[in-house]
Structure 1
Amino acid sequence: MHQTSSRLLRMTDDERPFTRDFKDLFSTLMVSLPLTPHRVRFRMIDFTFTSDEAITNLGSLKFSQSNRMPDPKDSSRVVTTTTTTTFSMAKEMARSVCQKFLEAKFIESVEGKTDFTNKSSVWQLTPKGIHILERFCTRNGIQSAHVKAVIDSNRNPHQLVILERNTDNDKLHHDEQTVEIIFRRFVGTTANETQSDSDSIHEFSKCDIGVKLVKHRPTTSRQYEYTFHGRNAAQWLMDCSTMVDPREAVEVGSLFLQLKLIAPVDVRNSEHTFQPVKSTHYYITPHGERVAGWTLEEASIGGDVVIKTRDGVTRDSNSNRTNVIIRNPSWRLLYREFLKETMCEENLSFYLEVQDFNRQYRAAISDKGDNKVETIRETLAAAYGLYNAFLAPGSPNELNIDHGLRTQLATRMTRAVGDDDAMLQSLNEVATLFDKAQNSIFKLMSSDSVPKFIKHPKYAPQLRGLDAAAASAYAAASPNASRS
């Protein structure tokens, strides 16, 4: 069985590609490149590629994902489903996209080049680029030897701040809690004191420590202890988080200023707009130090986040918490980090991807245009991608779901699709089964990982207000709730 999807890069209002599509395109390109050693100034540099290789491959890019499984009706027979995603673009567009990969800090020049005009220029993945490639390969079950070698190299930081985004417009969330969580990662659990001011491209290849800070002895006129300059801050944000546009580093830095987490050393500099330059210095405010958890006051505020419930409603409380965590970008960011540490991030990823799929499905079936059949075909192809990643037997992120439901899914997904009407019927059946699987995973998270998450010493202090929000959600959903 074969499904083909031709993908276009979705663009945001400010003319940049949607982050997920952009990261998928980058990772697909890296999988398609040989990533072999290239000679640069008498040295052989491993896992590299040239401008010409990248631009040529982007011109006609194809990514196939195959999944082999026993036929539900005849276990001696193996059925293979293949989903193929294709990208194609003109050479100048491909060069422009490569430049965007460079600006996003996914790749870097081995020779200090700043553009792709020279065909033979040599490039390599940054630590950030390697980690994004790793997440893509884990999601899609890619185990190519050359890609695995890059991922297993000592340049992989194995962690980035995974920023949550609005799925409709791809904008970063700006709520205070989310900004404070990013700020805690930005300054680190302890101050990263240094006297170095190197311009090395590997400056922030380790993302488990904060931005470089210079320590000062506070005086009457200068009552701060730690400073950093704007360029280093913007560089850390780009290198150690999933943001893809330098404008977003300025946006987040400006939010740090507006929430009084940092302030300019020179009072003539703006207190609202962040300057990502070496000549502008900022200090961490006392409020910023408290939010960072450097002082005892902030660390001890968390309190006990366990709701005192009536007997028998603990499970409901955890369901309400799970709902609130999934909908709140700051708690979702923390929950994702927790799941990654406990090796079950795929549960949240699947839940959210089914939400995205449902939006695509609803748009496809309500489409009244001439391209309705093509839209349904693309939505069905997306369903196969989702199934192969999370639900097929032996899939790379195989979820723990009921055996009967797994068999139903396998039976549906391996059945041939005939004419247009049959394709629409298939899509409707698949959407129903995905809903069942999503509900199953929601219950699993509510009964297992969420209770562990809210009691975890690293995360519990950062979950202030969760129980009040869960209680409000329960009251709002309750059929007996009084109406105002």
Structure 2
Amino acid sequence: MHQTSSRLLRMTSDDRPFTRDFKDLFSTLMVSLPLSSHRVRFKTYTFSFTSEEAINNLGSLKFSQSNRMPDPKDPSRIVTTTTTTTFSMAKEMARSVCQRFMDARFIELADSKPVQYFPPKGSLWQLTPKGIHVLERFCQRNGIQQEHVVRLLQSPFNTMRLVILERDSVTDRLSQDKTTTEVIFRRFAGSTPNIKANVSISDSDSVSEYHDGITGVKLAETRKIYDKVIKNSFTGKCAVDWLLDCCTTVEARETNEIARLFIQHGLIQSVLEDKVYVHQNPEASQFQPTKNAIYVFTDKGRRVAGWIESDRLSLQSGERGADGSQRARSNVRVRDDQSPRDQRETNTTRLTAILNDAALRLLYREFLRETLCEENLAFYLDVEGFNHNFHSIDLSKPDAVRETLAAAYGLYNAFLAPGSPCELNIDHTLRQDMASRMTRAVAKDDEAMYTSLKDVQTLFDRAQQQVFKLMAGDSVPKFIRTHKYIEVAGDILEDERNALSGGAPERTLSRSTRYPATNGDVPR
């Protein structure tokens, strides 16, 4: 059984590919390349490729997912389902796509020399730590085991721990609320200041220190600006370098957007404006991504980063105090008088809150990655996206049903098929129902195929409900005991306290009440 799909990349309103499709295209290209060793000027570069190889492969690129399983009606018969996705483009378009890969810091010249434009020939490239991380996540999801890719992923070059930014599933825009911004900012600042002895080191173009995604932005210990000496400052360029290298940002515009949010929320402030850049780019009055623009962390920024002590709202009593975080930590325990049913309902409410809040979802995703069960959240969110596409199918378009069914096979082969790379823990009956339906989902005409697709969507909903219950009962109770959850939950309660006292809330009261404290009640 073979299902083939070919479609245009989804584009955002500002004319760039959706991030998910963009990363999948990049990873598919990397899998197609040999990533062999090349020798240039007496030096050998491992896991490298040429401009010509990348452009030629993008001209006709295919990615197939296959799954072999016994026929539910006849176990002696093996059914193989294969989904093939094809990308094709002209050479100039391929060069433009490679330019975007370079701008997103997925790839870099093997000799590390900076270039502004992707040359169509004569250059040698390697994946950056960010690009390797993107490729690794793609391979884990799709069960890719090609030898050259496995060698790269197991090499010392695979060091990055990217900040996986949350995006709107419809517009692909980054989440911009205060709490999400502060979560990103904590990683940007680092657990301790990354101070350099002099300006020449802190302001250098080298980004090798950012290879792990944990080290914070480079700071100059002292910097003389006119007649003042400024401590622990950084340039606008250093800021955007960190945001582009250590987050799933895909263009400079997004890094500038995040840096502006840092300023708007009072986490950093300007000490020297690049007036020439502002004159040329009036929209950059708040933040300039240049070496001439200098910034420092505010007192609030240092508190949010955890560099200095801060008072925090207790999650249970609503009291403030220097030991608030310690009280909050003890309050995540379920009350003794709660029945098991009450506890399950509370965890269900908490999981709903986590899924609806970008900041909590970002932290929950990182927690699941650390505990090796990120596939549960990935499947849940992928089904949400699949359902959105299913309910908005335009049946007048000849390939709409076929494309959606191909997406269904992609989900099935990644998460639900026996032996799939991210196989989920669902009950045997549902797995059998799913296997039976998927072995006969492809039909000869669109009407019959749409009927099959509706059945598949119903089964996906059942699987999604089971995964939701699994997360609520297993990982959520562990997650809400982590310091990171307590920290963000305290911020949410702080915003609500400000709203109730008549202050200027940084998130609306109606929104904050959807994210309960760890004892299940929001203090009044």
Q: TM-score, normalised by structure 2?
A: 0.85
Alignment of 1:46-195 (within 5 A): 46-111=46-111, 112=113, 113-195=115-197
2:412 matched residue in structure 1: 387
Partners of 1:339 and 1:275 in 2: CA distance: 36
Q: Does 461-470 or 422-431 show the bigger shift? A: 461-470
1:286 aligns with 2:283: no
Partners of 1:310 and 1:117 in 2: CA distance: 65
Q: Structure 1 residue 152: deviation in Å?
A: 1.2
- Partner amino acid for 2:264? Q
- Partner amino acid for 2:481? K
Structure-2 change in CA distance of 1:474 and 1:250 (3 Å): closer
1:40 matched residue in structure 2: 40
Structure-2 change in CA distance of 1:447 and 1:223 (3 Å): farther
Structure-2 change in CA distance of 1:201 and 1:263 (3 Å): closer
Partners of 2:253 and 2:205 in 1: CA distance: 20
1:424 aligns with 2:450: yes
Partners of 2:99 and 2:511 in 1: CA distance: 45
Q: TM-score, normalised by structure 1?
A: 0.92
Partners of 2:511 and 2:146 in 1: CA distance: 44
1:12 matched residue in structure 2: 12
Alignment of 1:344-363 (within 5 A): 344-363=373-392
Q: Does 408-417 or 269-278 show the bigger shift? A: 269-278
Partners of 2:419 and 2:452 in 1: CA distance: 23
1:400 aligns with 2:402: no
Cα contact 2:267–2:298 (8 A) shared by 1: yes
Q: SS of 1:459's equivalent? A: helix
1:377 matched residue in structure 2: 402
- Partner amino acid for 2:232? Y
Q: Structure 1 residue 458: deviation in Å?
A: 4.0
Q: Structure 1 residue 417: deviation in Å?
A: 2.6
Q: Does 334-343 or 189-198 show the bigger shift? A: 189-198
Q: Does 130-139 or 35-44 show the bigger shift? A: 35-44
Q: Structure 1 residue 190: deviation in Å?
A: 0.7
- Partner amino acid for 2:26? F
Q: Structure 1 residue 74: deviation in Å?
A: 2.2
Q: SS of 1:395's equivalent? A: coil
Partners of 1:298 and 1:52 in 2: CA distance: 57
Q: Structure 1 residue 72: deviation in Å?
A: 1.4
Partners of 1:215 and 1:474 in 2: CA distance: 40
Partners of 2:454 and 2:234 in 1: CA distance: 55
1:255-296: CA deviations, max 9, x gaps?
Answer: 111111001122786896211111111001111000111112
Q: SS of 2:429's equivalent? A: helix
Q: Structure 1 residue 456: deviation in Å?
A: 1.6
Structure-2 change in CA distance of 1:457 and 1:34 (3 Å): same
Q: Structure 1 residue 301: deviation in Å?
A: 4.3
Partners of 2:391 and 2:245 in 1: CA distance: 37
Structure-2 change in CA distance of 1:317 and 1:20 (3 Å): same
> Match for 1:316 among 334, 338, 345?
345
> Match for 2:219 among 213, 220, 225?
213
1:325 aligns with 2:354: yes
1:232 aligns with 2:234: no
Cα contact 1:320–1:470 (8 A) shared by 2: no
Q: SS of 2:361's equivalent? A: helix
- Partner amino acid for 1:417? V
Structure-2 change in CA distance of 1:60 and 1:267 (3 Å): closer
Q: SS of 1:5's equivalent? A: strand
Cα contact 1:64–1:84 (8 A) shared by 2: yes
2:439 matched residue in structure 1: 414
Q: Structure 1 residue 465: deviation in Å?
A: 6.2
Q: Structure 1 residue 13: deviation in Å?
A: 1.4
Cα contact 2:437–2:456 (8 A) shared by 1: yes
Q: SS of 1:77's equivalent? A: strand
Q: Percent identity among equivalent residues?
A: 56
Q: Structure 1 residue 203: deviation in Å?
A: 4.1
- Partner amino acid for 2:172? D
1:350-372: CA deviations, max 9, x gaps?
Answer: 000000000111112xx252x1x
Q: Structure 1 residue 225: deviation in Å?
A: 4.1
2:479 matched residue in structure 1: 453
Structure-2 change in CA distance of 1:301 and 1:104 (3 Å): farther
How many residue pairs were aligned? Answer: 470
Cα contact 1:305–1:466 (8 A) shared by 2: no
Q: Structure 1 residue 424: deviation in Å?
A: 1.2
Cα contact 1:305–1:464 (8 A) shared by 2: no
- Partner amino acid for 1:80? T
Partners of 2:441 and 2:174 in 1: CA distance: 41
1:434-470: CA deviations, max 9, x gaps?
Answer: 0000000000111110111001234322222668889
1:165-197: CA deviations, max 9, x gaps?
Answer: 011111101100000000000000111112324
Cα contact 2:274–2:293 (8 A) shared by 1: no
- Partner amino acid for 2:41? R
Partners of 1:54 and 1:175 in 2: CA distance: 38
Cα contact 2:99–2:117 (8 A) shared by 1: yes
Partners of 1:374 and 1:163 in 2: CA distance: 32
Partners of 1:123 and 1:106 in 2: CA distance: 10
Partners of 1:268 and 1:87 in 2: CA distance: 42
Structure-2 change in CA distance of 1:472 and 1:283 (3 Å): closer
Partners of 1:449 and 1:416 in 2: CA distance: 33
Structure-2 change in CA distance of 1:298 and 1:15 (3 Å): farther
Q: Structure 1 residue 116: deviation in Å?
A: 3.2
Partners of 1:471 and 1:307 in 2: CA distance: 21
1:481 matched residue in structure 2: none
Partners of 2:511 and 2:429 in 1: CA distance: 32
Cα contact 1:290–1:298 (8 A) shared by 2: no
Cα contact 2:272–2:292 (8 A) shared by 1: no
Cα contact 1:67–1:392 (8 A) shared by 2: yes
